[in-house]
Structure 1
């Protein structure tokens, strides 16, 4: 058979039309997958897998077109069909119709896809324009002092400025944690702005010498990377609070906000030496996480308060340190309750407009008074003073969760992430709340983002393993829980996982070790372990122990999913009533 005969035979057997119809069908199928994948949340590899299958099957289809033919009696081998009985011409006409129909459909889908992409791009532009309007991040100021010994002072000035700007209702200010996460990182401002989703960035430097402070500040509009304003101050160190207030007002004016002078509250001045000690204590407390550093921070803040006991942020910082000391077991529950409440009371006496003080009182009302209604009232005061106060929003989310409004709690968590988008603890909080809502797939995505931002944080692998456990991915959960640094939570979950995979020996060993080594600190977790493995007698015993030990986890008992099977039992209801929580 020469080439012309072979070519004509290809045409007669509809190999060309069959191949074209296959390609058109494949294109339409891939377009449909492309459009539907985001809707059905198909994994990224799904579309690629279909494409590979289609490519592999193409030569198979060509061979079928050559070797087989459709006849009135069914599909037969082409060599067994006499040419005078072949209906390949009619088959070719049907293939023509098929190709035209699917080409039309492909064109329609192409326009749909382009319209969808254009809509997404429009939405992205709209979102960028939305977040760029009156949004700002205050980056940590650079310490330009000769010996680089003023890092705490530079951080303090930037944070005080951030706090002042937060009081402007029209301005959305990125939280300290996210803004300060870019400290000492060589990144372009445009990249930082994109990560923080802000339209403006305020950056600066601090240089101190003798009793003089020099502050340089620059305001950058990130959309065009344009320096729209800069200014320098050189003042005596005692005027640091006035400098901060001047900068806040100047930034507001340069953002062209229509505000009055009294919208930016005047900051109450503290004595210079006391303020310097406060900054050092806060710097140590926020940047180190161990018992020794906590004691050092307490020593510094006590020195500050001894010099000036009227500065509310210093009083709240000492209250937070007392609260942490209780968590570390350095002081007991009753002492922590007395000391923290005393600090909160003094702070509000000195400054009744300090939102952080009310947010702190909300925490104390939850953990020490077990009074959700009182905590809610304090949160309302905090958010009235500062609608975007991160601590206040955290408490608001906790309260919504404790009152059973999980969706509202999730909304608060998402708002917090908008204000503080690169803080791993915020994604942890969202994941934890989504877990309460039994939205495990979303919870898994959130905790993975938290781990991506900070792989070494405590409890993140516990929560990740818990989301896997709730999806019955037991083998994966066992691998993940081994990475959890907190031994109590690791043993708690291992006991549960081994129970579900029917390894009683390992389950019993994990629970026994948890009880032997951590029963006082993790009594509530022990109770939830027994709840999950359906041992109510042991569960109630350890709930009584948790109450005896004043375990703070008990406040979540009414909404904790582990105890859901027992919530209608008379004994369980009476136990909750005995806690005397005020919802």
Structure 2
């Protein structure tokens, strides 16, 4: 059968119409999914999976179209003459030949898609450099005037070529190849200038060249990267200087800078500095970001800084690390050592301003700064996590958390190897609790704990169970905790449950949990825990006795002093209360972020002194005190006051 005749029959049998329905439907579905995959919380490669499915289903659709719409060729009882029979057999043969061709094309396309999107080993933490067009590495010019350094020219280009090929950056055009072309082109009407030969005949996308000269007995190397088409210099690498007796030192340093440029070339929007870091420094930083061990993390950051003293990002991450470890003085001193590349680099200045504001307790500036950083790198886990924490705990904006949280899809994350992921879940759960979305909080925590037991999620789960009235679920969970956790961990959750029932004004239920601590066997309850349980049971005489013992051991513990002063007041020992308040005042120091004023607010709440209460709470929050699971409206000390206009002012201070 001829092709024209086959197409004519396909048209008559509405084959093209049926195929167009499939193609148009598939296209519409793809368009819808490409827009909705992120809001629906689907994996990022959902569209890729759908394309593969639609391609594989297309040959099946063509086959079923034949089976149910075009076949059988002869209906039962129908008599066909020889010409019609031949025509139908020819159509069937052509139809299935076409089906075979289409099937082959679909399978090949699917193979290419799978190979392109799923063949990379995702467990490899080291950076993968995207292959580009050819790069020409030319011999470095010897500007020393001394022929003995000619060998250094060749050494420099060879070392850079090795770095490029080892890291699979691109195909390299070597100096040897350029020299070979020079020989071949001799006698022809062409300028034998290397640059002309490279551009006209070898046509690389980029050219690396440079020169070196003597300066005060040292060799000074300068390298540059030139665009192969426009001849425009893309970047001039920072000059390197080394003893004339050891040129390899300069060459290695320049090679690090060049490789670092290529490895970060496609990440310019996320780079914190104008010049690329050295490759070795970048590797250390990347390894640090994947580390879950605090000591290893800081060691790798230090190695990155040692490898490249101009590398800005590890310096900032080091400041953040010590801030998170509550080593504020060390964090502040490291911050003061960091200088931006220039005072026009807005991103570096923004980050420095953010950490300066953090250490001053200026939470409004902190939130404003982290949102700028989040807009640049919303998918970076650490940036995203920090934005969540600041929104909830620093400026009391739980309503902002969900949008930030949903930016990063969690369905493919391995929680066992991702501390940032569990922190994000932790913050999201607390935000849901603050907004009264207890079911959502319980769901996200239980789903996470089905994958891995994460201790930091136990407390928000207890809070959500109590506030949602799920007493059976709470009891079942705490029975499990009592078996698998340490006594101290279990008692922390008993204390939290008791405080939550106090917030609900359910005194009998609160005392039930406090009694689990006060009635425990002697020796398995920490004295601070025992003091807290007695304190919240309002057994102030007993609490005072235990708190005095704790205060002797921890004379600078502000929380202990506040509760001791309140216990003094409640049992009528006003002179002791005043004495402890004076001690509390004398504990004021840098980097406390309103801790003393918050403690004084608790005291004046117990004393029902509203003016002093609100004054100190405002001072506390203005100094950077956190909004947290145990502070302000989550603190039983303030149950009577949380609905007042003044308390609302405290809660909305940074909004």
TM-score by length of 1: 0.39
Computing the radius of gyration over CA atoms, which structure comes out larger, 1 or 2?
2
TM-score by length of 2: 0.36
